[in-house]
């Protein structure tokens, strides 16, 4: 399951463990390609929390993180940003990157 984040709950929901945040928008073509990849990984992996944030509905968080292009995937570990990927990321590559941050 992929949890929907807002500006209000972003910090709380991403402070523990390994969390992937997909910054996206409804009008974004590459975001529509990225979503099924995130959903598949969310089904397969219990060691990562998968979340997404609509940048049109929540402007403060993407702005504070300097996100200028979407999709942008931010990976946090125990509240700290450890990686950031801009543009479409294939499933195998994303899985490999996530493996670096899970024990």
Q: Are 37 and 76 in contact (CB under 8 A)?
A: no
Catalytic residue among 28, 41, 65, 85: 28
Contacts with 17 (C-beta within 8 Å, 6 or more apart), sequence order: 47, 48, 49, 77, 78
Catalytic-role residue among 19, 21, 31, 98: 31
Active site residue 31: yes
Note if 41 is an active site residue. Answer: no
Q: Indicate the DSSP class of residue 55.
A: T
Catalytic site residues? 28, 31
């Amino acid at each position: 399951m992929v949890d929907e984040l807002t500006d209000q709950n972003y910090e709380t929901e991403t402070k523990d463990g390994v969390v992937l945040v997909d910054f996206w928008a409804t009008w974004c073509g590459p975001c529509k390609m990225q979503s099924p990849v995130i959903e598949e990984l969310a089904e397969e992996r219990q060691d990562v929390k998968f979340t997404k944030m609509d940048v049109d509905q929540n402007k403060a968080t993407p702005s504070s993180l300097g996100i200028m292009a979407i999709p942008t995937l931010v990976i946090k570990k125990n509240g700290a940003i450890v990686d950031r990927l801009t543009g479409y990321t294939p499933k195998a590559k994303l899985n490999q990157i996530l493996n670096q941050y899970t024990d």
